[in-house]
Amino acid sequence: MSANNLLVELFVEELPPKALKKLGESFAATLAESLKTQGLVGGDSVVTPYASPRRLAAHLSGVAERAADKPVSQKLMPVAVALDGNGQATPALVKKLAALGLTPEVVPQLKRAPDGKAEALFFDTVVPGATLAAGLQKALDEALGKLPIPKVMTYQLQDGWSTVNFVRPAHGLVALHGAAVVPISALGLEAGRQTQGHRFEAASPTVSLRNADSYVEQMVGEGAVIPGFAERRAEIVRQLQAAASQVGGGVRPIEDEALLDEVTALVERPNVLLCQFEEAFLEVPQECLILTMKANQKYFPLLDESGRLTHRFLIVSNIRPADPSAVIGGNERVVRPRLADAKFFFDQDRRKPLASRVEGLERVVYHNKLGSQGARIRRLVKLAGAIAGKLGADPALAERAALLAKADLTTDMVGEFPELQGIMGLYYALHDGEDARVAQAVADHYKPRFAGDELAADNIGLSVALAERLDSLTGIFGIGAIPTGDKDPFALRRAALGVLRMLMERALPLDLMQLLELARSQFDAEQVSASVAVDVFQFMQDRLRVYLKDNGRAQDQVEAVVAQAPTRIDRVPARLDAVAAFVALPEAETLAAANKRIQNILKKAGVAVTGEVDPALFAEDAEKALHRSVADLAPRVESDLANLDYASALKRQAALKAPVDRFFDEVMVMAEEPLVRANRLALLQALGRLMNSVADIAQLTAR
């Protein structure tokens, strides 16, 4: 079958910019996968997606005009049912053949083959391969049907009667196999070779594509469009860097991958231009100015070498006029009112001290079952002060920071830009003359805001940040609003991860269970259930497993440590390091297996082992030897644990291999005599406690 390269393009009205990248990738991937399934392209076909504000397209190499015929062997029915005693077709077989468009004359051609315990009849035939027209039509329908469309719209076709549903109205369809048009249709459109270029700068209203491989060349040259998303994005990056270099002085555009993707989805022919605003606006906190320029205008602010905002910014225009002054002037006029609003909000907010806004939080609902933000602040003040005391920080500063932590929620700036909560509290607190550590904690108590975000700068900020998350976890869990599946409306998974990160990465000497009990005690008894601390602790253990595995820790080693339900999260990394070192020992596999065996024996015993080991009841030399080893090793391991030397505590267990092996070879644990049996179970229990003092080594798998 002859093969050629294929191009498919759907020309539409402006697509949602935040979804464009995924739309383009999905369109090309589904198209290719369907054609591959139908045998029209091979596994080595190169798939190139294209996506611009007004088009989705894909180029595939090595696409056949027709797929190869496919031999098919179809099972009909068991021979015993299909043929009578004379070997003639039974009515059942005749009916089956008729359903397939066949007559009894084909019976001699049917193949007999084993089918399980019986023999069955099979009809061998050849299914013609799909033609490109039919296969591409199916693939296009699938590609359009599987697009991750944020919101579908309904529009009317030109006939005035038909309606279709799609993300945006479609106005053109191209399907070229080499230079030939493939006769397919979609959304009321028939495929051709005509498309449209840039809305304003194309050389002509339409672009007639010569063949599948001339797409990029013609779109760039005749259509004034860079059709590839990645290529257009790279061109924007290049121009941003070039424009910043022209300014000089180490100035650089702000780094924001999401903004870069969105701007790439807004333009077809990017043209970066340098603009500026009045330097007086730089009196406003730069976070406010940066946010309004990025969120509202899609501009790229320019930062100096120290990361401070300058009065210059870059825009990405979709046109390239000979004289760009009108475009530059227009954008400078547009941004000025935005910056003026930010300055107005900033000036107005500072007229009222931050502390005076705390009272207003009584009128802000936190949760209808947990009261107002004011009630929450009172809990945070007590909790943050108590945590700060445990960390050796100043409780009074932590309490003051907790008191002010949510006060900026009532400011005009945060009302306009909710993303600035905490940040504006920092600036307003400094303006009011608050202690710098308090002001910083007001901003830092939101950290980490997302995975990988930095943590609070000091123990004052960490105290408030921990208090805020512990209050959320115990309060929301306490009223039964527990995350389920992928639903987590109160972001409790993120809150739990934040607590774990702070405890672990800052090595805070705090007991997690005690913190949860402390947080629970801030609520009235009727507000939250008495068991909430235990429930949250178990929830956080699951988050700990995920966090550790995501950070490259081996799954079995994570399970070995977390199975012990550690409450000192700061010590978990050292325990994991010790387990990793233990696994490398030649005795590790045998001891892990023995530990698992011990657990199974104790579980099957069916009774609680409560007695102490009595050496006088030992009858076998092997149990005497094991007892001596355990008695000799126990104080050494206890000393290691007291010194937090988990690696040494586990390494010492290598000495147990020989006496443990001998014990299981020579001693019957479940002896008939009750006292002997109970004594041996007590010995195994003591051995298990010793072996699991750092981690549950039974969880370790063979390597």
Q: CB-based burial of residue 322 (10 Å sphere; 0-12 exposed, 13-18 middle, 19+ buried)?
A: exposed
* 199, 145: one domain: yes
* Least confident span in 81-95, 231-245, 258-272: 81-95
Query: Within 10 A of 185 (CB to CB), how many other CB atoms are there?
Result: 13
User: Does residue 447 lie in a domain region?
Assistant: yes
Q: pLDDT for 276-332, tens place per residue?
A: 999 999 999 999 999 999 999 999 999 999 999 999 999 999 999 999 999 999 999
Backbone angles phi, psi at 307, to 5 degrees: 85, 10
Q: How many H-runs (helices) and E-runs (strands) does the chain carry?
A: 25, 20
User: What value does the mean pLDDT of the chain take?
Assistant: 92
Which of 327, 349, 371 lies at the terminal end of a domain, its last residue?
349
Which is more confidently placed, 1 or 181? 181
Q: In the chain, how many domains are there? A: 5
Tell me how far apart the alpha carbons of residues 105 and 416 are, in angstroms, rounded to a whole number. Answer: 82
Tell me how far apart the alpha carbons of residues 601 and 578 are, in angstroms, rounded to a whole number. Answer: 27
Tell me how far apart the alpha carbons of residues 623 and 664 are, in angstroms, rounded to a whole number. Answer: 9
Backbone angles phi, psi at 452, to 5 degrees: 85, -5
Tell me how far apart the alpha carbons of residues 552 and 585 are, in angstroms, rounded to a whole number. Answer: 21
Distances (CA, A) of 593 to 343, 483, 590, 609, 699: 68, 36, 5, 21, 9
Instruction: Bin 237: left if φ > 0, else alpha if -120 < ψ < 50, else beta.
Output: alpha
Q: pLDDT for 56-68, tens place per residue?
A: 999 999 999 998 8
Closest CA to 585 of 531, 518, 655: 655
Token reading at 697: 């080594």
**Distance, C-alpha 565 to centroid of its chain:** 26
- Edge-first strand listing for the sheet containing 111-115: 70-78, 118-127, 111-115
| Mean local confidence (pLDDT), 110-122 | 84
Tokens 């006292």 — which residue? 675
Tell me how far apart the alpha carbons of residues 329 and 276 are, in angstroms, rounded to a whole number. Answer: 9
Burial readout 79-93 (b: 16 or more C-beta within 10 A, e: otherwise): beebbeeeeebeeeb
Residue 236 parent element (H or E): helix 229-247
Q: 120: which DSSP letter?
A: E
Token reading at 526: 């009727």
User: Does residue 502 lie in a domain region?
Assistant: yes
User: Does residue 612 lie in a domain region?
Assistant: yes
Q: Please state, for a pLDDT cut of 70, what percent of the chain lies above it.
A: 99
The residues facing 74 across adjacent strands are 123
Encoded amino acid at 365, one letter: V
Which of 552, 585, 602 lies at the terminal end of a domain, its last residue?
552
* 300, 283: one domain: yes
For every residue of 276-293, which 3-state class applies, written as one string? ECCHHHHHCCHHHHHHHH
> If pLDDT is split at 50, 70 and 90, which confidence band does 702 have?
low
- pLDDT score, position 614: 84
What is this structure's pTM? Answer: 0.80
* 59, 94: one domain: no
Tell me how far apart the alpha carbons of residues 165 and 151 are, in angstroms, rounded to a whole number. Answer: 10
Token reading at 619: 């009858």
Token reading at 632: 């000799």
Torsion of CA 309, 311, 316, 321, to 10 degrees: -160
**Going by C-beta distance under 8 Å and a sequence separation of 6 or more, which residues neighbour residue 444?**
422, 455, 456, 457, 458, 461, 462, 464, 465
The residues facing 273 across adjacent strands are 315
User: Does residue 558 lie in a domain region?
Assistant: no
Tell me how far apart the alpha carbons of residues 677 and 245 are, in angstroms, rounded to a whole number. Answer: 82
Tell me how far apart the alpha carbons of residues 387 and 302 are, in angstroms, rounded to a whole number. Answer: 40
> If pLDDT is split at 50, 70 and 90, which confidence band does 469 have?
very high
Helix, coil or strand: residue 397: helix
* CATH number of 155's domain: 3.30.70
Tell me how far apart the alpha carbons of residues 463 and 640 are, in angstroms, rounded to a whole number. Answer: 31
Q: Is the bond leading into 183 cis (omega within 30 degrees of zero)?
A: no
- pLDDT score, position 99: 85
- In the predicted model, is pLDDT for residue 520 greater than 80? yes
- In the predicted model, is pLDDT for residue 73 greater than 90? no
User: Does residue 557 lie in a domain region?
Assistant: no
User: Does residue 236 lie in a domain region?
Assistant: yes
* 335, 377: one domain: no
- pLDDT score, position 608: 67
- In the predicted model, is pLDDT for residue 102 greater than 90? no
* 627, 587: one domain: yes
- pLDDT score, position 696: 86
Backbone angles phi, psi at 221, to 5 degrees: -75, -50
Distances (CA, A) of 7 to 140, 141, 175, 177, 297: 12, 15, 6, 7, 35
Distances (CA, A) of 138 to 30, 61, 132, 426: 11, 18, 10, 58
| Mean local confidence (pLDDT), 260-272 | 97
Token reading at 682: 């007590």
Q: Greatest CA separation found in the chain?
A: 107
- pLDDT score, position 703: 52
* 147, 63: one domain: yes
- pLDDT score, position 228: 97
| Mean local confidence (pLDDT), 656-666 | 87
The residues facing 272 across adjacent strands are 316
User: Does residue 563 lie in a domain region?
Assistant: no
Distances (CA, A) of 395 to 97, 380, 383, 390: 88, 12, 10, 9
- In the predicted model, is pLDDT for residue 1 greater than 60? no
Tell me how far apart the alpha carbons of residues 166 and 144 are, in angstroms, rounded to a whole number. Answer: 8
Tell me how far apart the alpha carbons of residues 316 and 307 are, in angstroms, rounded to a whole number. Answer: 21
Which of 82, 108, 127 lies at the terminal end of a domain, its last residue?
127
> If pLDDT is split at 50, 70 and 90, which confidence band does 111 have?
confident
- In the predicted model, is pLDDT for residue 6 greater than 70? yes
Token reading at 457: 């700068």
* CATH number of 651's domain: 1.10.730
- pLDDT score, position 582: 87
* 122, 270: one domain: no
* 267, 242: one domain: yes
User: Does residue 581 lie in a domain region?
Assistant: yes
Tell me how far apart the alpha carbons of residues 66 and 38 are, in angstroms, rounded to a whole number. Answer: 10
* 660, 582: one domain: yes
* 150, 181: one domain: yes
* Least confident span in 291-305, 331-345, 567-581, 589-603: 589-603
Closest CA to 406 of 471, 457, 346, 342: 471
Distances (CA, A) of 80 to 104, 111, 271: 16, 14, 77
- In the predicted model, is pLDDT for residue 673 greater than 70? yes
Query: Within 10 A of 326 (CB to CB), how many other CB atoms are there?
Result: 9
* CATH number of 493's domain: 1.10.3210
* 36, 159: one domain: yes
Q: Which domain holds residue 100?
A: 71-127
* 373, 496: one domain: yes
The stretches of 104-214 forming alpha helices (DSSP H) are 132-145
